[in-house]
Amino acid sequence: MYTSNKDVKMIHNQGTGRLSSPSSKEVTVIITAYNRKNYLTAAVSSVLKQTLQREKYEIIVIKNFTDNEIDDFLKKNNIIALYDDTLSKTSKVCNAFFHSSGKIICFLDDDDIFYPDKLNTVYELFKKNSNLKAVMHDSDFYYEEVKFSKKNKIYGLRHIKSTYLLQGEPHIKQEEYLRIGGFRGPTSSSLCVSRDIFLEASEYFNGGLYAFDGSLILYSLITSGDVLMCDKKLTRYTVHVSAVHPTGDFKFNEYLAFREDRSPYDVEDDLIALRITEGTLLERTQREKIIMDAIILLLFNKEYFDTNEEQIMKFADKKNADDALLLRIFIKILKLHLLQENTLIRKILQIALFFKYKVDAT
- In sequence order, the 6+-apart residues with CB closer than 8 A to the CB of 188 are 32, 89, 107, 108, 109, 112, 212, 213
Number of compact structural domains in the chain: 2
The CA–CA distances, whole Å, from 182 to 166, 225, 227, 316 equal 11, 17, 12, 24
Give a yes or no: residue 245 inside a domain.
Answer: no
In this structure, are 220 and 264 located in the same domain?
no
CB 298 within 8 A of CB 264: no
- pLDDT tens-place string over residues 118-133: 999 999 999 999 999 9
CA distance 80 to 134: 24
The torsion angles phi and psi of 80, rounded to 5 degrees, stand at: -70, 125
Report DSSP state, residue 150. T
- Residue 112 has a CB neighbour count (10 Å cut-off) of 24
> Which residues lie below 8 Å from residue 152, measured CB to CB, with a gap of 6+?
142, 143, 144
Indicate whether 84 and 198 sit together in one domain. yes
From 184, 213, 239, give the residue that closes a domain.
239
Distance CA 257, CA 266 (A): 14
- Domain limit, last residue, from 239, 274, 298: 239
Q: What is the model's pTM?
A: 0.78
Same domain, 37 and 140: yes
Tell me whether residue 24 is in a domain.
yes
Q: How far apart are CA 328 and CA 301, in angstroms?
A: 17
pLDDT band at 88 (very low <50, low <70, confident <90, very high): confident
pLDDT tens digits along 89-115? 888 999 999 999 999 999 999 999 999
E strand or H helix that includes residue 135: strand 132-143
Residues constituting the chain = 362
- Shared-domain flag, residues 166 and 207: yes
Name the more confident of 87 and 132.
132
Spell out the residues 6+ positions from residue 78 whose beta carbon is closer than 8 angstroms to its own.
13
Q: Is 60 exceeded by the pLDDT of residue 229?
A: yes
* One domain for residues 189 and 319: no
Give the separation between CA 294 and CA 292, rounded to whole angstroms.
5
Domain containing 86 — which CATH number?
3.90.550.10
The reported pLDDT for the residue numbered 316 is: 44
High-pLDDT (> 90) share of the chain, % = 43
Collapsing DSSP states into helix, strand and coil, what is residue 302? helix
Which pLDDT tens digit goes with each residue over 189-204? 999 999 999 999 998 8
Q: For residue 23, give its domain range.
A: 9-239
Q: Do the domain assignments include residue 244?
A: no
Residue 279 lies inside a defined structural domain of this protein: yes
Q: Which of 14-18, 262-266, 323-327 has the highest mean pLDDT?
A: 262-266
In a domain, 322, yes or no: yes
pLDDT for position 247: 45
Bridge partners for 227 per DSSP: 134, 166
Residues 227 and 256 in one domain: no
Query: What separation in angstroms does the CA of 142 have from each of 119, 235, 236?
Result: 20, 10, 7
CA 290 to chain centre: 16
Backbone angles phi, psi at 227, to 5 degrees: -125, 130
Residues 50 and 101 in one domain: yes
Q: What is the pLDDT of residue 266?
A: 72
Last residue of a domain, one of 239, 271, 291: 239
First to last CA, the chain: 44
Q: Is the pLDDT of residue 22 over 50?
A: no
1 within domain boundaries? no
Instruction: Give the DSSP letter string of 190-256.
Output: GEEEEHHHHHHHGGG-TT--STHHHHHHHHHHHSSSEEEEEEEEEEEEEE-TTSSS--TT--HHHHH
Name 319's Cβ contacts closer than 8 Å, sequence gap at least 6.
Answer: none
Mean pLDDT of 205-234: 88
Asked if 81 and 178 sit in the same domain, the reply is yes
> Which pLDDT score, from 0 to 100, does residue 127 have?
97
Q: Does any domain span residue 100?
A: yes
Residues 103, 193, single domain; the answer is: yes
The answer to whether position 246 is within a domain reads: no
pLDDT tens, position by position, 182-192 = 766 557 899 99
